[in-house]
Amino acid sequence: MRRDIIKLPEKGTHKGQLFEQWAGEFRQTHADHAAYIALHLSGALDACRRKLDTLMRHHRAHVAAGRDGQRHRRAIERLQNTMTGAAVSYETSFHAH
């Protein structure tokens, strides 16, 4: 089987800069995409989304009320970094395009 080699644009050129930007975005969103597919195919995305929304509302309410805000901000950040948070983030950005 013959494989065609994809030639990368030269570094420093406009095409090279565009390629680097695209590659960086791909690496950043690849984990979100994989998380979305895994949760969607397992049928767990809706239940996970509801749980994530409930927890986010809880922590945001505490931040807005000024009660131990730093702790709740860290909890929100941890929730956003979970597989569910990544999948919901991916789904939101996908629908925005």
Mean local confidence (pLDDT), 25-36: 69
pLDDT at 56 exceeding the cut of 60? yes
The pTM score is: 0.53
d(CA 23, CA 18): 9
Torsion angles phi and psi, residue 45, rounded to 5: -60, -45
For residues 3-18, average pLDDT: 77
SS3 27: helix
The C-alpha angle 46, 67, 65, rounded to 5 degrees, equals: 70
Q: What is the structure's pLDDT at 67?
A: 74
Q: Is the pLDDT of residue 11 over 60?
A: yes
Residue 38: band (very low, low, confident or very high) from pLDDT cuts 50, 70, 90:
confident
Residue-wise over 5-21: b if at least 16 C-beta within 10 A, else e?
A: eeeeeeeeeeeeeeeee
